[in-house]
Structure 1
Amino acid sequence: MPGRRLRPSLRLLGATAAIALIAVPSFAQTPMDDPLDARDAKRVDRMEKVVRELRDIVFKAQKTGAPVVVQPADTDARIAEQASRIADLEQTLTRLNGSLDAATHELDQTKRDNGALKAQLKALSDRLTADEQKAADAFAAAAQAGPPPPPEPPPQAADPKAAAADAFAKARQLMLSGDYDAAESAFSAYVTSYPDTPRTSEARYWWGKTLMVRGDSVKAAGAFIGAIRGWPQTAWAPDAVVELSRALTALKKPADACQTLGELERKYPKAPASVKTRAAVVRTQAKCG
């Protein structure tokens, strides 16, 4: 608390000092019937302290004549202590307010999340209900419609010979039209589907021709070997031998190519001139002796 300024006159100060000097000893030396308890003793000590401070003020004013500022140390200390406690309480309250704000924010976020989850659950429930209703409607419709009609009998199998002839004719037509990719697939399917028909060997021959056009010498050589197995006496057989020799030459097997060309002279001595001319070209490419 602020200090008090005293400007007493000399006469007033003298009277006050006299009263103080007389009162203090009288108060201190008065005998007491009962001993003081701890609380009363403290009160007496505080009163004596105040009297001493007043006496000092009076003496100082008499000597100097200057105003005196009184600063009660005990009151200032208590004020400072209370101010410190108030500051601590304010900090604690600030922390509590911050924690409360954070908890409130988390609670609001949780409420929003719960609301979104409830909306999703409701949407899923509605979809499930709709699906169940659709399934029930479909079941009811099926029950009203009665049992399904019996399956149609499978179509009767076509004549194998006629089917084979038709497949061969389609494959040959594809080759004549220049569609070698489709012709290769058609002849390959024919050989797989009809391995024992009278035209299977010829199909292998034409299959080998389409493979040579596509540059697949490995598969072509296998197709030609299957075509001339048994050395058939057909119009296409001598050309199949030449084509086999050409495939072997492309595969870097000139000895096998030359041996195959030697069989051409023995097995097909009456081969057409065009076939023999092509055989001579292959013989030169294979460097036959």
Structure 2
Amino acid sequence: MRKIIWALAASAALFPAAAFAQSNIDGRVGKLESEMRAVQRKVFLGGAGQYLQPEVTRPDTPVQAGGVPATGAITDLTGRVTSLEEQMASMTNQIEQNGYKLRQLQDAFDAYKRATDAKLKTLASAPAPAPTPVTADDSLAGDTAPAPARPAPVKPVRGGTTAAKPVDTAATDTPAAAAGVVKPSTGNAAEDEYMYGYRLWAAKQYPQAEVQLKKVVADYPKSRRASYAQNLLGRAYLDEGKPSLASMAFYDNYKKMPDGERAPDSLYYLAQALMKLNKPADACKVYGELTDVYGGKITSQMKADVEKGRTAAKCK
């Protein structure tokens, strides 16, 4: 009788433990189901809240033979729930990583789009070139033809008639002999002032061109033509036989406006001016600077000219 009482007491003690284990497992399973629904709402958008059955399922667990204690089934179920929790944590981590990568791709695309839009806007706002471009490297476009010679003066002669003074056609065929240089008037002040300086330089009127080009740089420092004017100022000095002043003008253009369109040209002509000053070693350094800073931007023709200059300077 005493043994029966002890057995009943042991059974009564096992019931609360089994009930507690069952309650714990039910809570974990309920949590997994809610997390799975949250994951499906995030991954399978538009699923209308429906639960999607997995394509890969866990193989059926072999049915244990009868007589196995109940605690073995609870232990197996606990292990399976633990495995599900680990898989859920791994899936959640993978989803977060994929979301982070998608955000990175979106940010990179947005940055590329902003840069492209800015470039297109810059190109759209650039002034259109005139229909008669010239080949001189210091003018992108414009009417740079020499101004027509003024009509030959006439003077009265005896008998009431007039006779025209013979015109020296050989002299009027060159820009240097032109009686005047016409200043353009297109409505773009910076462009007109620069083109006027360019025409003076093309007409070999170097002192007047130098004054005009300095004015362009001083009055329109933010214009794209400022780089052109400073470079052409150096060339005017160089053509006038003043390599020392030319070297300072070229260096100022590169130093003050390194992003200007004529900064590479100024480095090239700076080396040329240094050669005229008998400083081949310094010219080699300038050629090296030109290649290092603007190697990917200069034209193939300039690259060939640089190589010729390096050969003339005997650069190592």
Q: TM-score, normalised by structure 2?
A: 0.36
Larger relative contact order (C-alpha < 8 A, sep ≥ 6)? Answer: 1
Q: Flag the structure with larger Rg.
A: 1
Q: TM-score, normalised by structure 1?
A: 0.40
